[in-house]
Amino acid sequence: MQRSGLLIIISSPSGAGKSTLARRLMEWDPTLRFSVSATTRPPRPGEVEGQHYYFMDRAAFDEMVSQNQMLEHAEVFGNCYGSPRGPVELAMAEGRDTLFDVDWQGGQQIRASALGPHVVSIFILPPSLPELERRLRSRNQDSDEVIARRMLKSRDEISHWAEYDYVLVNDDIEATEADLRAILTAERLRRDRRPALGGFVRKLMEDAA
Ligand SMILES: Nc1ncnc2c1ncn2[C@@H]1O[C@H](COP(=O)(O)OP(=O)(O)OP(=O)(O)O)[C@@H](O)[C@H]1O
Ligand SMILES: Nc1nc2c(ncn2[C@@H]2O[C@H](COP(=O)(O)O)[C@@H](O)[C@H]2O)c(=O)[nH]1
């Protein structure tokens, strides 16, 4: 039987380090596929269409939603974000694992979808709220107003931490990346080895009889 890809969801308050960790994880394992989201947010300097996001206007976004082309979608910080369904289903059929950088609403929707049994969800906490703000500022890409809005929403996002399979505090980036690698390795072992164990255990018992 062809194995099915895992859906690895990473959520956190804005600025805790999801994108940085996702990038590092994909450098470690280039077979991982990143789910490039659609968004109505304008591009930041340096963001590339089709690599960081599919940037679109509200009409195009709504059209995708109405055609059932989004696996999940939500309004975050006043803009629309969504995960296109087609590439995820393709990756799963090919047995490839997909990484999602989505907020708690996206996490809930994917978990509740038909693909829910394939989800591994990870919540990233910042070491403190002042450090979260420092990281948002150090990124040097958002206005004071945008940063204030994201900080205001951070408590709401953090309140969903217990809905996730794993929760990591992203203090030291190397240590957090090592934890993510360990999670991925263990979850893949579980997926790949467990189905074959039924036959192995049956034979073990027969041989002993
Ligand atoms: N462990 C860490 N220690 C110090 N700085 C970090 C750490 N992890 C990430 N950063 C820095 O914090 C900033 C925000 O990180 P990043 O953009 O990855 O956050 P994010 O959670 O993806 O944010 P958003 O939700 O807005 O996309 C970046 O400048 C990144 O280099
Ligand atoms: N529910 C979804 N949330 C998403 C998606 N893509 C990104 N996000 C989340 O939005 C915020 C802000 O992202 P930014 O790039 O503007 O900083 C962040 O929390 C992301 O996780 C998505 O497809 N669905």
Nearest to 122 by CA among 163, 166, 177, 161: 166
List, in order of start, the domains of the chain with CATH numbers. Answer: 7-35+96-207 (3.40.50.300)
Orientation of helix 173-208 relative to helix 18-28, angle to 10°: 50
Q: Indicate the pairing of strand 79-84 with strand 119-125.
A: unpaired
Looking at the predicted structure, is the pLDDT value of residue 1 above 70?
A: no
Residue 139 buriedness (CB in 10 A; 0-12 / 13-18 / 19+): middle
Q: Could you give the ipTM of this predicted complex?
A: 0.98
Please work out whether the CB of residue 170 comes within 6 Å of at least one atom of ligand 1.
yes
Atom from ligand 1 closest to the CA of residue 142? 26
50-86 pLDDT, tens digit each: 999 999 999 999 999 999 999 999 999 999 999 999 9
Give the count of beta carbons closer than 10 Å to the beta carbon of residue 168: 21
Q: For the whole prediction, is pTM greater than 0.90?
A: yes
Please work out whether the CB of residue 139 comes within 6 Å of at least one atom of ligand 1.
yes
First to last CA, the chain: 29
Contact 43, 162 (CB under 8 A): no
Amino acid at 13: P
Q: If you average pLDDT over every residue of the chain, what do you get? A: 95
- Residue with the smallest CA separation from ligand 2 atom 1 is 106
